[in-house]
Structure 1
Amino acid sequence: MIDCHSKAVLGWAAADHYRTELIKDAVPMAAGTGLLQPGAVLHADRGSNYTSEEFGHSL
Structure 2
Amino acid sequence: VQKGVIENCKIYGDFFGVGDVKEVEQALIGTRYDKSELERMLQEIDVKAYFGNIEKTDFLQLIY
Q: TM-score, normalised by structure 2?
A: 0.32
Q: TM-score, normalised by structure 1?
A: 0.34
Tell me which of the two structures has the higher relative contact order, counting C-alpha pairs closer than 8 angstroms and 6 or more residues apart: 2
